[in-house]
Amino acid sequence: MNHYGAQALAHWRQHLPDQLATIPDQDAFFTRLGETAQEEIGHRAEALAQLQTPAEGYLAEAARLETARQMAESAVTRELVLVDPQDLEAVGQLLG
């Protein structure tokens, strides 16, 4: 289980214990969730990074790529890893 899966599991233990109890194989569920989050972050960061300005230098490019990664990680973390316990639709979608 990667960092995102472990983070999600800790979040569910604290904020969604009833829903967590319904997951028969928690290790597999959070391993898959973490892998999905990591892949989604990569895809979104790549898409955001495509928004480049012509003739940017190395430092500007590095900053743009880091910013894209941070933006993607923030969005995916909110949507998949630290899901809002009040958002029952999002929780239900994760539980499938």
Look up the domain containing 18 and give its range: 3-95
Number of Cβ within 10 Å of residue 41's Cβ equals 22
Look at the chain and report how many structural domains it folds into. 1
- pTM summary value: 0.86
pLDDT for position 54:
62
Q: What is the percent of the chain where pLDDT is above 90?
A: 70
Counting DSSP H helices and E strands in the chain, the numbers are 5, 0
For 13-54, what is each residue's pLDDT tens digit?
999 999 999 999 999 999 999 999 999 999 999 998 887 666
For 57-90, what is each residue's pLDDT tens digit?
888 888 888 999 999 999 999 999 999 999 989 8
Say if CB 32 and CB 4 are below 8 A apart.
no
